[in-house]
A and B are shown apart, each in its own frame.
Chain A
């Protein structure tokens, strides 16, 4: 069951393995939205794995960066809609930092498209499914180009 042989840098998607995507989700909205997608059995790509954060305001750009450097094929951050942050405006601070990070990615040798942030509320399970499905497709096509 080890994932060692599936390391994306070495074997990108050739064997049909879904690309490995790390999603940092806010505890108050997007994580609950993702749970709701589960409760309503909305099928999703298997490569998306969620790390819970207390607020997107906690997001240090280091985390997405580290994820990509260590071998994740894509990174997604999702928080509360602007104006609806559980912690007032942590999501807006996050947006500024992540926007800077985006510009920095090509400099570090990653396509900008490997990173995305979005807003998903606790009731938007359907939207979460659409976002991860679309993002996975995007990463697949990026991987395809690499080949």
Chain B
């Protein structure tokens, strides 16, 4: 065995706390290490070339690289080994940056620890065997979860790459939050005018299958071979037959509040979300339907010219196969009723930004006229409050929601255009306007439209004589402010979409404590997740505006097209295997395997033993720990390898 050791300085990222030269000296004394050297940046192209040459010249057959986390560059170095003619799995990375130099100040202790980590890697690599990655076929179809602008853009871009896409949306129409907007900053284009053509394109695209009012029930499998169960919820209207004429909605005698208008404005039990809905079909909400509640009515059924209403409809579950999955599930708005000091949702004239947007929209509850919900009067003084449920530790939302400053400026401008006489105040903490043309846009609101920006938080909103008293402080003037307002708009921040953590579990991806899905690398892998074949687009990953969402969605499409461009993909060879001669056929392993990768098989003498199918195995090692006679081993994580690591740490 001939092990080569390469220790990275990483500029001064490692070298400032770990004595790299000493590691090299000490490393040379470790068993089987025949070559050791330090390198400035081991990941750089010349260094990679040097490693290749060293492998060939020194006839190395195992390589240890002490550098950054294996999650960063393990694949890079495996390719180096491959180029040098060595099996790529004869590599071990010692994580002396993220888990050593960056977390310690004391050079002596950090160096001792780095040496421990190197010793561990050397001990482990000497147990490595050459491994061949198995290949599996790829289902060249993509699943996009969520039909907002992120999902729409991703689906269209993937479909244009000639890959069939299934777009699943849980509401009866696609369009998401963007469909609820009147205008979009900073150019004030009409949101519907730029969105609805894309929605129609999704509906008509030959490569896109649209499944609205459906949710993901279960996900199995792995990259290239996902098996997904999708629940088509009972809409009680046959979407194939419905022509979207809307007679049912007109004649329905029920009363409900409009979900699309976020509870502001009236709705019906049978509804079409908005005039440009795609698909334009009606859906019945059983909670509000008179027939479901009292077993009589059925007016819609009688009047439907297409005979589409079907009160007997049941949920249906379909199973489909995909090679890649995109989650584009968007966000939910912070529930402002948690702010007791702002009325806790008791005042009808205090509303969220998105609710106000519906009042601005021609398809909204007031047909685009700005009116007070309480008495229908035109408001004269309107106060916008920024950072409601953002940058507020006390409410568990320390982060910035990235869009509220901008949509507040937009709504202030739109209000001024329609009510030029109105007085508008914006209470803010800081203005965050970092996008292209954003700062100019906010300036326009202030200078051209005369919107009064007051720097300070609002401490209390209460009613007095039919007016909303907004009390706060102007922190620039250092004095308290009180405004008599007719209408207050709270710029509520972004949270994770409802059900995000449940979906994350089904997809085996992780999320942060707020429910936003975690990308594989915050800078370099912003659309990948740690589960190969599952990707992220839009606000499900973090709050972001439309331009950033669309950019990410197109980025995701390129990743999906890349992943699905191959006929076969290599799966990890770090899988488990049974030593059939020693297997006693108890099949405990069969019961615990989460991937159904273990089967019963018979040996020549008829003895029944367990067999692991390498392409199904995902290498979790649960069977290994379960096997009583200890005849299963997991490549890369054998008992001997793990124990050799333990010994290297404590005995070193």
Contacts and interface: CB of A to CB of B under 8 A. Distances in A.
Pair from one complex: yes
Contact of A63 (B109, B618, B620, B646): B646
A28 interface: yes
Interface in B511-533: 511-513, 518, 530-531
Interface residues of A, number: 59
Given A39-B98, A42-B103, A93-B592, A55 B621 contact: yes
B309 to A, nearest CB: 39
A138 interface: no
Given A63-B643, A70-B651, A46 B112 contact: yes
A83 B104 CA distance: 33
B582 interface: no
Contacts of A34: 98-99
Contact of B622 (A20, A90, A123): A90
A105 B69 CA distance: 32
B22 to A, nearest CB: 6
Contacts of B431: none
Contacts of B504: 84
B518 A123 contact: yes
Contacts of B380: none
B396 interface: no
A54 B645 CA distance: 15
Given A55-B622, A60-B639, A4 B652 contact: yes
Interface stretch (B115-123, B192-200, B201-209, B252-260): B115-123
B510 A66 contact: no
A12 interface: no
Most buried by A among B95, B510, B634: B510
A115 interface: no
Contacts of A18: 109
Contact of B26 (A1, A20, A35): A1
A123 B512 contact: yes
Contact of B69 (A4, A38, A83, A93): A38
Contacts of A63: 642-643, 646
B594 A87 contact: yes
Contacts of B117: 49
B103 A1 contact: no
A6 B622 CA distance: 35
Contacts of B510: 28-29, 32, 80, 84, 86, 121-123
Interface in A40-55: 41-44, 46-47, 49-55
Interface residues of B, number: 59
Interface in B576-625: 592, 594, 618-622, 624-625
Given A67-B650, A90-B620, A1 B113 contact: no
B650 A32 contact: no
Interface string B55-82: 0000000000000011100000000000
B508 interface: yes
B621 A54 contact: yes
B476 to A, nearest CB: 33
B548 to A, nearest CB: 20
Contact of B112 (A1, A44, A67, A85): A1
A53 B642 contact: yes
Given A63-B642, A124-B513, A46 B109 contact: yes
Contacts of A6: 112
Given A20-B649, A34-B98, A51-B645, A46 B104 contact: yes
A28 B530 contact: yes
A32 B231 CA distance: 33
Contact of B505 (A53, A67, A84, A123): A84
A35 B74 CA distance: 14
Interface in A2-43: 2-4, 6, 17-18, 20, 22, 28-29, 31-32, 34-35, 37-39, 41-43
B508 A88 contact: yes
A88 B622 CA distance: 11
A71 interface: yes
Nearest to A51: B645
A84 B518 CA distance: 13
A4 B100 CA distance: 20
A35 B622 contact: no
Contacts of B518: 121-123
B274 interface: no
A51 B646 contact: yes
Contact of B646 (A39, A67, A80, A94): A67
A75 to B, nearest CB: 9
A123 B509 CA distance: 12
A4 B112 CA distance: 11
Most buried by A among B117, B508, B622, B647: B622
22 contacts: A1-B111, A3-B652, A18-B109, A31-B71, A35-B71, A38-B103, A49-B113, A49-B117, A50-B99, A55-B622, A58-B620, A67-B646, A67-B649, A70-B646, A80-B510, A86-B620, A90-B621, A93-B625, A121-B510, A122-B530, A123-B511, A123-B518
Given A28-B530, A51-B645, A87-B594, 10 more contacts: A46-B113, A49-B120, A51-B642, A53-B621, A67-B650, A72-B649, A83-B505, A88-B508, A88-B594, A90-B622
Interface of A: 1-4, 6, 17-18, 20, 22, 28-29, 31-32, 34-35, 37-39, 41-44, 46-47, 49-55, 57-60, 62-63, 66-67, 70-72, 80, 83-90, 93-94, 97, 121-124, 129
Interface of B: 22, 26, 69-71, 95, 97-100, 102-106, 109-113, 115-117, 120, 501, 504-505, 508, 510-513, 518, 530-531, 574, 592, 594, 618-622, 624-626, 634, 636-637, 639, 642-643, 645-647, 649-652
- A-B complex: 4 closest residue pairs judged by Cβ atoms: A58-B621, A38-B98, A57-B622, A87-B620
